[in-house]
């Protein structure tokens, strides 16, 4: 089934390194991650459409970082569709450095602000929220990976709440990878829990394509 994106429309993807994927260097302009794979799906599955796809991911970014560049990277581009994937750097920074600016409350405040600004400036823009995720089954007491997994529900609940409040599409990627990990080892999808390999990026791209279909 084809996506609801119409011919001539624009979709912008924004997020952290998982979105960036080298889009600012030799792999410009879309990088080589899920954004590029989504663009490839549009080419091979909906060849008659001409859709403008823009990648505004920046490696290492968090919700406050998005808020600080929202006018230039999103509002100025006036997308018809917008995909936001942010949160793992907020979680990591809070858990391992104790940075209160990255705590769940700060994450929610910054995330809510960018959604409010988008609704005010671009009321017709259709928004997709993509959950942060962590591809691991580590259950060892006091391990760093288990610490991340234990705090992940706090951040996922915020995305769930904001998606309901702002009536967005919502892709539960952490839950999706969790289902896949019942059958495959984490290395199938990533070399370490944060950054997917091509198979992991394909999971995300396909989930986005199906959600918009």
Domain ranges in the chain are: 10-211
For 38, 114, 125, 146, 169, the CA distances from 81, given in Å and listed in that order, are 13, 15, 5, 35, 11
Domain 10-211, CATH class in plain words: alpha beta
What does the angle CA 204 – CA 68 – CA 144 come to, to the nearest 5 degrees? 50
Residues (pLDDT < 50) of the chain are none
Two tokens, residue 153: 């529900």
What is the model's pLDDT at position 100?
A: 83
- Residue 60 to residue 79: CA distance in whole angstroms: 23
The DSSP letter of residue 71 is: I
| pLDDT computed for residue 156 by the predictor | 98
pLDDT of residue 204: 98
The owner of tokens 């970082």 is 65
Determine the pLDDT at residue 207.
98
Residues 156, 4: Cα–Cα separation, whole Å: 26
Q: Are 144 and 96 in contact (CB under 8 A)?
A: yes
């Amino acid at each position: 089934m084809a996506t609801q994106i119409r011919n001539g429309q624009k979709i912008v993807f924004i997020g952290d390194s998982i979105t960036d994927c080298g889009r600012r260097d030799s792999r410009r302009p879309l990088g080589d991650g899920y954004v590029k794979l989504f663009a490839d799906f549009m080419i091979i599955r909906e060849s008659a459409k001409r859709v403008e796809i823009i990648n505004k991911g920046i490696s290492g970014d968090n919700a406050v970082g998005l808020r600080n560049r929202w006018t230039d990277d999103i509002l100025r581009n006036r997308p018809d569709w917008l995909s936001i994937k942010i949160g793992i750097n907020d979680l990591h920074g809070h858990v391992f450095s104790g940075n209160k600016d990255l705590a769940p409350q700060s994450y929610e405040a910054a995330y809510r602000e960018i959604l409010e600004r988008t609704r005010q400036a671009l009321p017709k823009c259709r928004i997709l929220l993509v959950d942060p995720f962590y591809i691991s089954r580590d259950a060892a007491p006091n391990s760093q990976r288990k610490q991340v997994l234990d705090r992940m529900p706090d951040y996922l609940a915020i995305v769930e709440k904001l998606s309901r409040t702002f009536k967005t599409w919502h892709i539960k990627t952490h839950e999706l990878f969790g289902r896949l990990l019942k059958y495959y080892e984490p290395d199938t999808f990533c070399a370490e829990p944060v950054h997917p390999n091509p198979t992991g990026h394909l999971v995300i791209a396909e989930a986005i394509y199906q959600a918009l279909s």
